[in-house]
């Protein structure tokens, strides 16, 4: 699992990590995102781009839904293909930030970038 540290505009340090499982439908993944520290009132928009083909894939961003645990969110990503994707988390509401996470999306789920 890969995590990323970033500096939000508020000055609070946020880290995010994500874990996805393949749904069985081509290139559709159920993802769990965890923000640390857990901050209530944060909305997350999840987008994705392929580093090797920048700008060529326009994945429709989805709003992540808050999960049961604090700081946990769920989102379903509908990608174009397997391979490495840069997942963009746009945080708004109580925290404003933009995080970029890199994962290898396979036919079983996600793995950290090699």
The DSSP 8-state label assigned to residue 60 in this structure reads P
Q: Which of 100, 104, 109, 111 binds another protein (CB under 8 A)?
A: 100
Question: Considering only residues 60-79, where is the footprint of another protein by CB under 8 A?
Answer: 60-61
The DSSP 8-state label assigned to residue 83 in this structure reads E
Neighbour count for residue 5 (Cβ, 10 Å): 10
* 2: contact with another protein by CB under 8 A: no
Strands 97-105, 83-93: pairing is: antiparallel
Summarize as ranges the residues that interact with another protein (CB under 8 A): 4-7, 9, 26-27, 45, 47, 49, 51-56, 58, 60-61, 80-81, 86, 90, 98, 100
């Amino acid at each position: 699992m890969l995590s990323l540290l970033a500096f939000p505009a508020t000055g609070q340090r946020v880290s995010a990590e994500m874990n996805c499982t393949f749904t069985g439908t081509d290139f559709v993944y159920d993802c769990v995102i965890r923000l640390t520290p857990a901050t209530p009132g944060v909305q997350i928009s999840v987008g994705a781009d392929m580093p090797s083909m920048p700008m060529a894939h326009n994945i429709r961003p989805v709003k992540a839904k808050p999960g049961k645990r604090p700081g946990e969110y769920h989102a379903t990503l509908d990608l174009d293909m397997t391979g490495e994707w840069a997942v963009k988390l746009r945080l708004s509401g109580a925290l404003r930030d933009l995080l970029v996470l890199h994962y290898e999306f396979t036919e079983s789920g996600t793995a950290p970038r090699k």
